[in-house]
A and B are shown apart, each in its own frame.
Chain A
């Protein structure tokens, strides 16, 4: 019970901090922090399943996030008919060729025994295949990218509601994880870390540069929302009435009618964006809570016990007839799929897909800091880690500014050191993350909320 008290206390403090931001900065900021905290929590849950349950290091989180984002684009954007008619056939043809190639390789792998000739012939099939596919796809790609490049220049998506992309994002990420897991999971822990990090860079390189599919660094903007638009809300009667009700006490203080109307308009504008964010919060909360229930159930199921057994003593588990390789692959796919959901959620919330913004610092290492800080192996810890670290990541700049002002209070405002430090305030977040991570690893290596070892 005392342990549970810890969890409750930690979460209360966290919520308190966010509420403080709401009161002192603005509710808008507080909610956007809260929403990203929720998305971060989904990511950390994915990483935590892999690391905490099974001891697998996945430094490829960025790649799965980006794939999730890509799913959001491919699901929600309307198809670009002109592009399809111009280059669609070539692309489909290439896709067909890729499938044929994969099947041929699989057939050879199955039919013939391992030998040098087999390896070389597979290699030559792949190389030949890539060349043929390039020649097939090239004209199509050029045609597609030439279609109104300022606005489209890509195939577009399916034009479905963006919410579906959360499932599809998970699927994309899961498939990628399956491929990576098949080839890389046998590696030693640190090799696996490096390999996944590099593979995620390859994924980003592809997303950035295959414009026909993703629009690349030209970004995709204006994605459809699952939540209402602010502009529409501001003209909806029930919403205006609602805002009026909420702020009645303040509005009643204003006697002048036109002033009152102006104030109300202001409230409506602010309220609309808060309302939209609240909609997202609701959606995200549903996901976080569903995932939390599922992962908790899994953790305490026989399967969860087996995973921990494998993590703690792989050889013994193997000797007891548990298929370690298969279980590792399964958990690698599951964890990555969850990260994929988070990637789709992120793009859904932003309403835009910017491949250039996927950087390992933000999408891989920061997530790992969250997992370590929160407490690996404990889902509540992982979620808390996501909240705490994201909160600090955002609030580091104001805190840094405050500290700089405090320490340089004696200096003149134009003193070069003070000016320089104030300019560098954005980078204090890195310092804070680094020092935080080092302190946690040193003095509380199991995280804020350590894994519970229950004896029944």
Chain B
């Protein structure tokens, strides 16, 4: 029985939250990797673009709520996301047209594009803060828990409860669907393959008659979808605060590089690698050991490898190690 309790404990505090957090990071990481693979620059505006998409989602959610439209036990935000995506994709295309296109046409070095993305980061951050303000916002409505800890305890008769938030389940399901569709698109459709070809060998793609303008446009649209959904899921699960989103750029970059930048599947896995290592290394295992070890061997301290203050530092250290030993990422495989 103690053993089952221990497993439930790990599920509740490590596995489920890490899976949800990892999914949110994965979407962001695929976004970074797509931009890097096809448009060939490190996009420092990633976090703020996600925050922009989330902001639009929130505005639409409020609008629907004011109209009295809801999805019952599901959050209204799910209904708002498609509209937000349209808005977001237009915003991305607009930025591309007025900012990035010039440098792409002039074949500027990637570093310059990265600098330009910092300009976009400032502007986007300002726009978000001017429109919705810098404060913490929750826009979740609907049923909060799928399983409550108490109910679970009653149901199973165990000491440990397993609480599953509906946002966690929504995050995981939506991510799985989105990522499957994306990989199907990249690997099976002609347009998707031409995107991979463009990312692989730009000159040869041009010689094969692939239209770069179309590729760039589709890339920004997909990026808009990923940014909006990734951001909105994070916001639903935790809360929306522009500054947090800016900071999230860092573990997202870590995930993309750990997975091998330019490799979407690697980025997807990278998200989970980062999420799990952050949570595994900063979790206090005292209770876990109390269940699995005999009473005489119970640990005195918290049995925590690192204090939770160092959560971010964990992912960054992983990144630094990966950069030093395997700059191409830990997952081999097809590039974009």
If over half of B's interface residues share one DSSP class (helix, strand or loop), that class is named, otherwise mixed; here it is helix
Q: With A361-B246, A368-B118 known to touch, is A183 a contact of B324 (CB < 8 Å)?
A: yes
Contact flags B125-140 to A (C-beta < 8 A → 1, else 0):
1110110011000000
Contact check: which of A201, A423, A433, A437 meets B312 at CB < 8 Å? A201
Name 22 interchain pairs, CB-CB below 8 A, sorted by A.
A183-B320, A187-B323, A189-B109, A190-B41, A190-B42, A191-B327, A193-B42, A194-B253, A198-B253, A199-B320, A201-B316, A202-B313, A205-B309, A205-B310, A206-B313, A365-B121, A430-B126, A434-B120, A434-B124, A434-B125, A438-B120, A442-B102
Q: How far is the CA of A193 from the CA of B42 in the complex (A)?
A: 9
B138 vs chain A, min Cβ distance (A): 20
Asked if B129 contacts A427 (CB within 8 A), the reply is yes
B115 in complex: contacting residue of A372, A423, A430, CB < 8 Å: A372
**Residues in A neighbouring B316, C-beta threshold 8 A:** 198-199, 201-202
Instruction: Tell me whether A323 is interfacial, beta carbon within 8 Å.
Output: no
- Residues of A within 8 Å of B, CB-based: how many? 42
In the bound complex, how far is the Cα of B15 from the Cα of A435, in angstroms?
43
A residues with a Cβ closer than 8 A to B are: 57, 183-184, 187-191, 193-195, 197-199, 201-202, 205-206, 208-209, 361, 365, 368-369, 372, 421, 423-424, 427-435, 437-438, 441-442, 445
Chain A interface mostly: helix
Which residue, of A57, A424, A441, has the highest number of chain B Cβ atoms within 10 A? A441
Please indicate the chain B residues that have their CB under 8 angstroms from the CB of A197 in the complex. Answer: 250, 253
Asked if A435 and B123 make an inter-chain contact with CB atoms under 8 angstroms apart, the answer reads yes
User: Are B130 and A189 neighbours in the complex by a CB distance under 8 Å?
Assistant: no
Residues of chain B within 8 A (CB-CB) of A423 are 133
B226 at the interface (CB under 8 A from A): no
**A427 and B134 within 8 A (CB):** yes
Name the one of A184, A187, A428, A442 contacting B126, with C-beta atoms under 8 angstroms.
A428
A434 to B312, CA, bound (A): 27
List which B69-121 residues lie within 8 A (CB) of chain A. Answer: 99, 102, 109-112, 114-116, 118-121
10 further interface pairs, Cβ-Cβ under 8 Å (given A189-B109, A195-B319, A438-B119): A184-B324, A193-B42, A206-B313, A365-B121, A368-B115, A424-B133, A427-B134, A434-B123, A438-B116, A441-B115
Selected contact of B114 from candidates A190, A424, A438, CB within 8 Å: A190
**Chain B residues within CB distance 8 Å of chain A:** 41-42, 44, 99, 102, 109-112, 114-116, 118-127, 129-130, 133-134, 246, 250, 253-254, 257, 307, 309-310, 312-313, 316-317, 319-320, 323-324, 327
Query: How far is A187 from B323 in the complex, measured between Cα atoms in Å?
Result: 8
The minimal Cβ–Cβ distance linking B93 to chain A, given in whole angstroms, is 17
Question: Assuming A187-B323, A201-B316, A431-B130, is B119 touching A441 (CB within 8 A)?
Answer: yes
Contact B111 A189 (CB under 8 A): yes
B130 & A209 in contact (Cβ 8 Å cutoff): no
Contacts of B42 on A, CB cut-off 8 Å? 190, 193-194
What is the bound-complex CA distance between A429 and B126, given in angstroms?
8
Residues of B within 8 A of A193 (CB): 42, 111, 114
Contact across chains for A441 and B112 when beta carbons are under 8 A apart:
yes
A187 touches B122 (CB 8 A): no
Given contacts A184-B323, A427-B126, A431-B127, contact A189 B110 (CB under 8 A): yes
Task: Report chain A residues within 8 Å CB of B126.
Answer: 427-432, 434
**Which residue, B110, B250, B313, has most C-beta atoms of chain A within 10 A?**
B313
Closest Cβ neighbor of A188 among chain B residues: B327
Chain B residue contacts of A205, Cβ below 8 A: 309-310, 312-313
Nearest CB on A from B131, distance (A) = 8
Give the shortest distance, in Å, between B311 (CB) and chain A (any CB): 9
Q: Which residues of chain B have C-beta atoms less than 8 A from A437's C-beta? A: 115-116, 118-119, 122
Contact A198 B254 (CB under 8 A): yes
CA distance A195 to B261 in the complex (A): 13
Per the bound structure, the CA–CA distance linking A400 and B250 in Å amounts to 30
CB–CB A187/B130 < 8 A:
no
A201 touches B111 (CB 8 A): no
Q: Taking the nearest CB of chain A, how far is it from the CB of B320, in angstroms?
A: 6
Task: Kindly report which residue of chain A lies nearest to residue B114, judged by CB atoms.
Answer: A190
Q: How far is the CA of A206 from the CA of B134 in the complex (A)?
A: 26
Q: How far is the CA of A428 from the CA of B129 in the complex (A)?
A: 9
Min distance, Cβ A206 to any Cβ of chain B, angstroms: 8
Give 6 closest A-B pairs by Cβ, nearest first. A434-B122, A434-B123, A431-B126, A430-B126, A437-B119, A198-B316
Say yes or no: A369 contacts B250, CB within 8 Å.
no
Residue of B nearest to A192 (CB): B323
- Report yes or no: A195 in contact with B320, Cβ–Cβ below 8 A: yes
Closest CB in chain B relative to A403 CB, distance in Å: 12
Tell me whether A209 and B253 are in contact (CB under 8 A): no
Partner of B123, one of A188, A372, A431: A431
Say yes or no: A209 contacts B99, CB within 8 Å.
Answer: no
Alpha-carbon gap, A427 to B48, bound state (A): 14
Give Cα A445–Cα B115 distance, bound, in whole angstroms.
Answer: 11
Q: How near does chain B come to A7, taking the closest CB pair, in angstroms? A: 24
**Assembled-state Cα–Cα distance A332/B197 (Å):** 37
Cα A10 to Cα B153 in complex, Å, equals: 72
Tell me the nearest residue of chain A to B319, going by C-beta: A198
Chain A residues with Cβ below 8 Å from B41 are 190
Give the CA-CA distance A193 to B117 in the complex, in Å.
13
Tell me the nearest residue of chain B to A423, going by C-beta.
Answer: B133
User: Are B320 and A421 in touch, CB under 8 angstroms?
Assistant: no
Least CB distance from B162 to A in Å reads: 31
Which partner residue on chain B sits nearest A216 by CB separation? B309
Determine the residue in chain A with the shortest Cβ distance to B251. Answer: A198
Residues in B with CB closer than 8 Å to A189 are 109-111
CA of A209 to CA of B308, assembled, Å: 10
Contact in complex: A430, B320 (CB < 8 Å): no
Q: What distance in Å separates the Cβ of B110 from its nearest Cβ neighbour in chain A?
A: 6
- Shortest CB distance B105–A (Å): 12
Q: Is the CB of A191 within 8 A of B130?
A: no
